[in-house]
Chain A
C-alpha cells in the first residue's frame, strides 16, 4: 500500500499542476497545451500505463488487506470506543478509498474516455477545456467532485504519513516534518482540485 500510495501521490502532484493551468484564465489556452503534451508525449503515455498498474495494485492490495484484517477478528466487540485511541479517518481508509474509486470511475468517464477513445479532442473538434466547462455546468457534478475531494483529503491525511511508517522511515528529526508536510499536502492538493469545478461552474474562469 505504501509504495503504490506514494506513487499515486506523485501522480496527484503532476495532475494538479497541469490542471491548475486553467487558473491562468486565458480561455484554456495554456491548459489545452498542457493537456495536449500529456496526451501525445510517449513517455507520459507509458507512465499512464504504469499509473494504471499502480492504481490497480493499490486497489487489489487494499481490498485483500481489508478482507484479511476483517478475518483477524471474526467476533466483533459489542462496544468498541475507537475514538478514544485513534482518528476516525485512519480507521476508515477502506471506505474512503471505495468512495474515491467510485468517483474515479465517474471522473475517467467524464474526461479520460473522451480524450482517449473518441476523436473529439484529437480531431480538434473539441478542447479538453471546453469539455470541462460543459461537464461542470451541472451543479450536482460540482457537488460530487467537491465531496470526492473531501474524501481524498482525509484519505491522504492518514495515507501520506502512514506510508513512511510502513516503509520504516521513522526518525526523531524527520517524522514531525513528514507529518507536517503530509497534513498540508492533504489539504492543499484536494483544495486546488475542488476549486476547479467550482471556478468553472460559477464562471470565475472563462
Chain B
C-alpha cells in the first residue's frame, strides 16, 4: 500500500533483571502510518514468533492513554516525539519511511528492568502505600456540595489527579527523580478538605519512601513537566516542597 513505511528498530533486549542487555536491530516492513506505535510492535512480535524467536516484552494495557503502562523511551524521549501523549497514543505517522528508531526501557535505579522493555514500577505503589490515601473516617455519603471547595482548588486537585503513574517523569529527568509523580499524588489530596487531617504525615512519609526507593533529587530542570502525558504542572512540586518544609518544621513528630 502506498504511504507504508520500512523502518529499522533498535530495541533493548534483556533476558531478566540480573543479566546485561543490549540494543538489537530489527527491520519492519510495510508499516501503515495509521498504526499506533504498539501495533507496530505487535507486527514485529508476530513476525518474531513465526520465526520461532522470543518476542519483545513490553508493558501495555488500556491502549488509550489512561493506564500508564506503555513505558517506552523512543529516540531519546519517553513516549516518543509528541507532547502530551503516551506510547499507545503515538502513531506511525510521526515517523518517516527509512527512519531508524531506538527504543529503550525507562532507565532508573528504582525501576529495574524485568525483561526487555518492561520495568518494575512497584516503587510507585510503595510510595502511594506510604501515605497517598485518606484513612480518617469520613462518615456516610453526604449531600452533594456539603463540603465547600473553591472552584480553583477543585480544578487543581482534579488536574493533579490526572496523573496515571506512568513514570515518564522519572524517565525524562536527568536525575531519575520522582518528584512530579509524588507531588501530584500529594497535591490531589492536600488541596481537598478530606486530605487536611493527614496532610503533614502524608508528605513526610511519601517523601521518605521516595528517597528510600533510590530516586534522584529534583534540580528543577522541568523535563518531567515537558514530557508528562497528562500535563502535570511543576507547581505541584513547589506545593509539595512547601508542605514538606512546613511539616518538617511544624509537626511535633521527629
Interface band, chain B:
35 or more
Q: Would you call B102 and A79 a contact (CB within 8 A)?
A: yes
Q: Would you call A69 and B102 a contact (CB within 8 A)?
A: no
Q: Would you call B221 and A81 a contact (CB within 8 A)?
A: no
Does any Cβ of B come within 8 Å of A80's Cβ? yes
A69 to B221, CA, bound (A): 13
Task: Given A77-B107, A90-B219, A166-B241, answer yes or no on A84-B174 (Cβ-Cβ < 8 Å).
Answer: no
* Chain A residues near B217 (CB-CB < 8 A): 65, 68-69
Segment with Cβ contacts to A, from B1-9, B126-134, B189-197, B231-239: B231-239
Does any Cβ of B come within 8 Å of A75's Cβ? yes
Q: Would you call B76 and A81 a contact (CB within 8 A)?
A: yes
List residues 80-101 of chain A with CB under 8 A from any CB of chain B. 80-82, 84-87, 90-91, 93
* Chain A residues near B76 (CB-CB < 8 A): 77, 79-82, 84
Contact pattern, A 146-167, Cβ under 8 Å of B = 1, otherwise 0: 0000000000001001100111
Does any Cβ of B come within 8 Å of A144's Cβ? no
Of B81, B104, B108, B234, which is within 8 A of A165 by CB?
B234
Of A69, A71, A80, A90, which is within 8 A of B220 by CB?
A90
Say how far A156's CB is from chain B's closest CB, in angstroms. 14
Q: Would you call A72 and B220 a contact (CB within 8 A)?
A: no
* Chain A residues near B116 (CB-CB < 8 A): none
* Chain A residues near B240 (CB-CB < 8 A): 168
Q: Would you call B239 and A168 a contact (CB within 8 A)?
A: yes
Segment with Cβ contacts to A, from B32-40, B61-69, B222-230: B222-230
Does any Cβ of A come within 8 Å of B109's Cβ? yes
Nearest to B235 among chain A residues (CB) is A170
Q: Would you call B222 and A90 a contact (CB within 8 A)?
A: yes
Q: Would you call A72 and B216 a contact (CB within 8 A)?
A: yes
Does any Cβ of A come within 8 Å of B209's Cβ? no
Nearest to A79 among chain B residues (CB) is B76
Does any Cβ of A come within 8 Å of B177's Cβ? yes
List residues 101-116 of chain B with CB under 8 A from any CB of chain A. 102, 104, 107-110
A131 to B45, CA, bound (A): 72
Q: Would you call B109 and A71 a contact (CB within 8 A)?
A: yes
Q: Would you call A72 and B176 a contact (CB within 8 A)?
A: yes
Contact pattern, A 57-85, Cβ under 8 Å of B = 1, otherwise 0: 00000000100110111111111111011
Q: Is the interface of B mostly helix, strand, loop or mixed?
A: mixed
Q: Would you call A77 and B220 a contact (CB within 8 A)?
A: no
Q: Would you call A90 and B176 a contact (CB within 8 A)?
A: no
Contact pattern, B 172-185, Cβ under 8 Å of A = 1, otherwise 0: 10111100000000
Say how far A83's CB is from chain B's closest CB, in angstroms. 9
A74 to B217, CA, bound (A): 15
Task: Given A69-B174, A167-B245, answer yes or no on A86-B104 (Cβ-Cβ < 8 Å).
Answer: no
Nearest to A159 among chain B residues (CB) is B220
Q: Would you call B218 and A166 a contact (CB within 8 A)?
A: yes
* Chain A residues near B75 (CB-CB < 8 A): 79, 81
Does any Cβ of A come within 8 Å of B73's Cβ? yes
A168 to B177, CA, bound (A): 17
- Can you list 16 pairs linking A and B with CB atoms under 8 Å apart? A69-B216, A72-B109, A72-B177, A73-B216, A74-B109, A78-B10, A79-B102, A81-B77, A90-B220, A91-B174, A93-B219, A162-B219, A166-B220, A168-B243, A169-B242, A170-B235
Identify the A interface with B (CB < 8 A).
1, 65, 68-69, 71-82, 84-87, 90-91, 93, 158, 161-162, 165-170, 175
Closest 4 interchain pairs by CB?
A168-B242, A170-B238, A81-B76, A72-B216
Instruction: Other than A68-B216, A73-B109, A90-B221, give 12 A-B pairs with Cβ distance below 8 A.
Output: A69-B216, A73-B174, A78-B104, A80-B76, A82-B76, A82-B223, A86-B222, A167-B241, A167-B245, A168-B242, A168-B245, A175-B235
